[in-house]
Amino acid sequence: MKKSFKYMAVGGLAVFSLGSQVVQAAEFQPAGVRALGMGGAGVASIRDTNASYWNPAAFGFFGEDDAAMKASDNNAMGDKDFGISADVGAGVSLQGNLAGLVDTIGKINYNAVSTAINNNVGGNLAGQTLLDSLTLINKLDGLNAPGTGLRILANGMGGVRIKNFGLGVQVLGEIGVSAKIDTQNLGLAAGVTGVAGVQQAVAGFAAAPPTTYFTAAQQTQLVGLGYTQATINQVGTQLAATPAAQGQQGIIAQALNTVANTTGSLSNNNSTIRYQGAIVTEVPLSYGYAITPNFSIGGSLKYIQAQVIDGYTGVFNQNSNNFSFSQFKETKSGFGIDMGAMYRMPKFQAGLVLRNLNSPKFKHSSGYVYEMKPQAKLGVSYMPWNTVTIELDADLTKNQSALNNYDTQYINAGLEWDVFHIVALRAGAYKNMAQNDIGTVYTAGLGINLWAARLDIGGAMSTKKAQYQGQSFPREARVSAALNIDF
């Protein structure tokens, strides 16, 4: 049991569904180490081969170094005729109360609970076993809450740029992992379910006087569900004598509510962990054209290969540790279209990028459809000196993630100071305006310029924390590294 849930927490909890379900291609990821270090902002100030992702209009300004162009060239794009780059990044994001639920469940010995239930023909559940059973039921049911799960994020970018043209490879992965809990098989007695099952589970307890373990309101609610006052007293008295049950009345009452509607025992529970999403590889051919020295447009035609993932494993399956995404993966292909625009004047720039304008779709044989819906992002930047960039970006679209009922819509802000053009210091932050479970995410990055080459690292960490096995860790974290060469 503990191994199953540890694996669920580390390897990921995506969405259980029957039949076809359409899910967006994921969030607008802060792909690329420079953008990540600057809080996920880059639409207006992108200046390398990653423009094929952030804003293909930037290609229109590369290598254009006449006097008219130079007048508004804030970041030396006119001096760059050739470039090559490689970026890799990864991240994880815990949604809802996943960590807390899994932490509690992982402490319960499921095998002992299951054995006790199967052997409970005389109603002899010990107080701790009764508490464990009801706590497990409550926490399992909590995993069904919309937007509860984990997202595994990854990106890799590489490309070559020759003046106004670019050819690249972009890998964008998001896998949502969540649980579908079998709420019908949560009974406390083998062969007897619902209220009757609870009554049998505690039948061996001595008759008890009214207890103050449950509040009057909770007792009234339980009576309304069909529990007798005698059963409520027996449960309450047994738990009142169990130290670990103190302060858990609300959880226990909710669990008894859930159990009242069951048709099978907990030992027969068929809860599953669902994995859905895709690892998308894009090969964009990009071109940008400067209509004026201040305004450029651009676009990318991209071949797309999507490794679509849809599958599940059993929560209580001891073979879960042998899980591999490859067993649920199917490869599909298609094409996509991106467009961008960029305007610049001395010290100021603005950009707009539109991704996946044709909404490419990829269907798994299970019926699951992974749809890359259009995304739009706007950015503005201020460059008081050629070594300083300040940028603010915002998603104009609300983007559904690979985790069902979880959307993203980011505001991103960042700063870069390229000290003496040798060491680039970056800092920023982003926040998901569509959800509040992660809080503000702070980012930082460092770049070392070695003439034409630049080495970069970056990372991000959320302000809100999660607890697991006594340890505190960020609800969201990302890392990235890159090597860029520009001439």
Quick: pLDDT tens for 295-309: 999 999 999 999 999
Percent of the chain with pLDDT over 90: 53
239 vs 279, residue with greater confidence: 279
406 vs 228, residue with greater confidence: 406
Give the DSSP per-residue string, 296-313.
EEEEEEEEEEEEEEEEEE
pLDDT for 184 beyond 70: yes
pLDDT for 405 beyond 90: no
Cα–Cα dist 179/272, whole Å: 6
Question: Which pLDDT does position 207 carry in this prediction?
Answer: 58
Question: Which pLDDT does position 483 carry in this prediction?
Answer: 93
Q: Which of 38, 43, 70 is nearest to 56 (CA)?
A: 43
Question: Which pLDDT does position 171 carry in this prediction?
Answer: 96
pLDDT for 422 beyond 80: yes
Cα–Cα dist 166/298, whole Å: 11
Alpha-carbon 133 to chain mean position: 30
pLDDT for 20 beyond 60: no
164 vs 143, residue with greater confidence: 164
Task: Name 474's bridge partners.
Answer: 465
What value does the mean pLDDT of the chain take? 85
Cα–Cα dist 113/260, whole Å: 18
Angle at which helix 2-11 crosses helix 98-106, to 10 degrees, equals 160
Q: Stretch 242-252: mean pLDDT, rounded?
A: 78
DSSP state of 22: E
Question: Which pLDDT does position 106 carry in this prediction?
Answer: 73
**Is the CB of residue 379 less than 8 Å from the CB of residue 42?**
yes
Q: Kindly report the number of other CB atoms within 10 A of residue 79's CB atom.
A: 14
Cα–Cα dist 84/101, whole Å: 45
**Is the CB of residue 211 less than 8 Å from the CB of residue 316?**
no
pLDDT for 432 beyond 70: yes
CA quadruple 391, 413, 486, 450: dihedral sign: positive
Give the torsion through C-alpha atoms of 394, 399, 401, 404, to 10 deg: 130
Lowest mean per-residue pLDDT among 126-135, 372-381, 416-425:
126-135
Percent of the chain with pLDDT over 70: 85
- Structure tokens, 296: 């450029």
Structure-token match 């607008």, residue found: 28
Q: Which of 5, 141, 43 is nearest to 395 (CA)?
A: 43
CA atoms within 13 A on the CB side of 171: 13
pLDDT for 283 beyond 90: yes
- Structure tokens, 358: 């044709």
pLDDT for 173 beyond 90: yes
Q: Stretch 280-288: mean pLDDT, rounded?
A: 98
223 vs 1, residue with greater confidence: 223
Cα–Cα dist 148/143, whole Å: 6
Q: Which of 411, 392, 446 is nearest to 34 (CA)?
A: 446
Q: Kindly report the number of other CB atoms within 10 A of residue 217's CB atom.
A: 9
H or E segment at 167? strand 165-180
Cα–Cα dist 183/137, whole Å: 8
Question: Which pLDDT does position 121 carry in this prediction?
Answer: 47
Question: Which pLDDT does position 4 carry in this prediction?
Answer: 39
At 53 the three-state DSSP class reads helix
Cα–Cα dist 26/155, whole Å: 12
pLDDT for 440 beyond 50: yes
Q: Kindly report the number of other CB atoms within 10 A of residue 47's CB atom.
A: 21
pLDDT for 216 beyond 70: yes
Instruction: Using alpha carbons only, give the angle 180, 471, 40 rounded to the nearest 5 degrees.
Output: 75
Map out the domains of the chain with their CATH numbers: 2-96+146-180+271-486 (2.40.160.60), 126-144+194-261 (no CATH)
Going by pLDDT thresholds of 50, 70 and 90, the confidence category of residue 246 is confident
pLDDT for 346 beyond 70: yes
Instruction: Using alpha carbons only, give the angle 415, 421, 422 rounded to the nearest 5 degrees.
Output: 100
**pTM for the model:** 0.83
pLDDT for 126 beyond 70: no
Going by pLDDT thresholds of 50, 70 and 90, the confidence category of residue 124 is low
Q: Stretch 358-371: mean pLDDT, rounded?
A: 94
Lowest mean per-residue pLDDT among 204-213, 392-401, 408-417, 462-471:
204-213
